[in-house]
Structure 1
Amino acid sequence: MELKALRNFITVVDEEGVTAAADVLHVSQPTLSRQIKELENELGTTLFTRGTRSRTLELTSEGRLLYRRAKEITELADRTATEIAVREEVTGDIHISAAQSVVMRTVAKAMVRLHDKHPRVRVHLHDGYGVNITERLNNGLADFGVLVQPTDMSHYDFLPLPGGDPMGLLMRRNHELATHDRITAGDIKGVPVIVPHGVLVRRNLSGWYRYNGEDLNIIGTMNLLYNASRFVEEGYGCAICPAGLVDASGKSDLTFRPLEPPVYTKLAIAWKKSQPLTPASTAFLDELRAVLQGA
């Protein structure tokens, strides 16, 4: 598959049709249609079906897979070209895929130091969760990943990040448990909760919550907290989550109470052992180590 063919395929998907894509790409419609057909022949599958509106195209399941991979391939190709072109100086892009955490302030401090010394370095943040972050690391789409522990780190070099996020219960301010200073396993028995998907996979709460042999009353899972907090605001249960990620101050309809006994999330920043670091990434690690030594 040629990069040009993949880029043209992406444009057809984004523009929802060959005619509109041909205008954007400044090529004739027959030429673009022929390129898509050649791509289908090369892959031995159909990428599009005619949509409910006669002029629109809809992706098949194979087409959706190719679209996702084509975006990754072209992004990686662009990054590679940029990195090769700028190896003479400390400049370029650093891609960080990270779990949401207040510990990211440590990463931000290192980036501030780096940008003061090398203002042509840019950072691209991608909010994610365990599997998503490691996939981007493994595919070369992320230079660094900030991962909640415990995680299998056998394929990575990493630095532990200091501190940790206290876990607690996010709830409406008028919830009956809002009168508690802290939330115990007994308090939460039977309470409908939304729980981070990664917490379930890693079993972070397995030692904290076992009340008479019963499990949590889980009515939903989440990857990132912001949208889940909107569900909590509307009365769809409570959320078990780290502190400090959404507004739970006196101006908010939400409030947060830490767990008792305390439970903390620990994080580490990782990068692939086998992936050579760019000058920008190497300089960033130098600044991060300096910040961690100072801490």
Structure 2
Amino acid sequence: MEIRLLRYFLAIAKEQTISQAAEVLHITQPTLSRQLKEFEESLGTTLFIRKDKKMYLTESGQFLKNRAEEILYLTDETEREFQIKGDILLKGNINIGCVEADNSDTLALMLEEFTEEHPQVSFSIFSGTSDDIVEKLERGLLDIAILLEPIKITNYHIFPLPRKERWGLLVSNQSYLTQKESIHLEELIGVPLLISSRNDIQQMIYSWKGIDEEDLNIVGTFNLIFNVFSLVANRVGSALTIEGAVYNRQDTEITFLPLEPEITTNCVLVWKKNHMFSPTVERFIETFQHAFEA
């Protein structure tokens, strides 16, 4: 007997109509009617009689109502007590890896809320490329991480974050390219380029339709985009990067131009499978998932 069905049953008993109960439960009326019918069939008894457009409990229904109220009370109390116990026990440090991306501020918002609710919790953040971060995850130096796809990892849970990361070209404001609002892929041909040192990113760039690897003029690679701002400003090369990595860092010397057609990738939250985490890390992962589940 599912707790969900008991809640449905009690809502109908209270509201005395399927339509009002469905509205309270935020489900459709046909769904609730079907659930009630299947519930009655599974119990082998009728729980309601219909009279004057209202639903009244049968003798069996009244018996179930009394039991259901007891069961749900105990269920809610048990969950509440475990929640309180968990809140008391939550303390310690969370070690987090995070790439430079638009979703970096998602991590900041989650940490702000989590540490406000659990003031005994602290955290350490390591910034780097996805490759750098995965290496530390493998060595057990980090608990969880936000990585930028494409990535090739096994034995990890992967939870996509909602905001897409848009790719583009970071150019000097002295370049003729700043006259454009976007950059078509074919316009990259011949332009001195700085690209990520990550092999997965390079392969993704080379696989873009409309571009051949031999047509690209790669003059240098980088791991963190901050290191190439001055190179871009001085026209050593234009950098292929995601917009979130340079958000609020553009100034009078450099400008981000999105690629056309638009190219996006995801950031993902990752953590090891079959790994024993502290209650604090477990709760933080759960909080992250619940915040963004559809």
Give TM-score, length-normalised by structure 2: 0.65
> Over aligned residues, Cα RMSD in angstroms?
2.3
How far has the Cα of 1:255 moved from its partner? 0.8
Residue 198 of structure 1 corresponds to which residue in structure 2? Answer: 198
The aligned amino acid for 1:146 is I
Residue 214 of structure 1 corresponds to which residue in structure 2? Answer: 214
1:203 alignment partner, SS class: helix
- Equivalent runs, 1:1-295 vs 2, <5 Å: 89-198=89-198, 201=201, 203-208=203-208, 210-211=210-211, 214-246=214-246, 251-293=251-293
8 Å contact from structure 1 (residues 114, 283) kept in 2: no
Stretches of structure 2 that go unaligned for 5 or more consecutive residues are 1-86
The aligned amino acid for 1:147 is L
Stretches of structure 1 that go unaligned for 5 or more consecutive residues are 1-86
Mapped partners of 1:94, 1:103: distance in 2:
18
1:262 alignment partner, SS class: coil
2:163 alignment partner, SS class: coil
Mapped partners of 2:203, 2:222: distance in 1:
15
Return closer, same or farther for 1:286/1:219 CA change in 2, 3 Å cut-off: same
Mapped partners of 2:272, 2:156: distance in 1:
5
Mapped partners of 2:132, 2:213: distance in 1:
32
Mapped partners of 2:102, 2:161: distance in 1:
11
**Structure of greater Rg:** 2
Whose helix proportion is higher, 1 or 2? Answer: 2
Mapped partners of 2:211, 2:125: distance in 1:
39
The aligned amino acid for 1:189 is I
How far has the Cα of 1:275 moved from its partner? 2.2
Return closer, same or farther for 1:244/1:145 CA change in 2, 3 Å cut-off: closer
8 Å contact from structure 1 (residues 113, 287) kept in 2: no
8 Å contact from structure 2 (residues 150, 265) kept in 1: no
Mapped partners of 1:167, 1:90: distance in 2:
39
Mapped partners of 2:284, 2:216: distance in 1:
41
Residue 82 of structure 2 corresponds to which residue in structure 1? Answer: none
Mapped partners of 1:153, 1:124: distance in 2:
23
Return closer, same or farther for 1:219/1:202 CA change in 2, 3 Å cut-off: closer
8 Å contact from structure 1 (residues 158, 268) kept in 2: yes
Return closer, same or farther for 1:112/1:240 CA change in 2, 3 Å cut-off: same
Q: How many residues align?
A: 208
How far has the Cα of 1:273 moved from its partner? 1.2
Mapped partners of 1:106, 1:247: distance in 2:
14
8 Å contact from structure 1 (residues 98, 125) kept in 2: yes
1:162 alignment partner, SS class: strand
What's the % identity of the aligned pairs?
28
1:277 alignment partner, SS class: coil
Instruction: Between 264-273 and 244-253, report the one with greater CA deviation.
Output: 244-253
8 Å contact from structure 1 (residues 95, 141) kept in 2: yes
8 Å contact from structure 1 (residues 185, 211) kept in 2: yes
2:154 alignment partner, SS class: coil
Mapped partners of 2:98, 2:249: distance in 1:
25
8 Å contact from structure 2 (residues 196, 202) kept in 1: no
Give TM-score, length-normalised by structure 1: 0.65
Mapped partners of 2:252, 2:209: distance in 1:
28
How far has the Cα of 1:157 moved from its partner? 1.4
Mapped partners of 2:223, 2:173: distance in 1:
23
How far has the Cα of 1:263 moved from its partner? 1.0
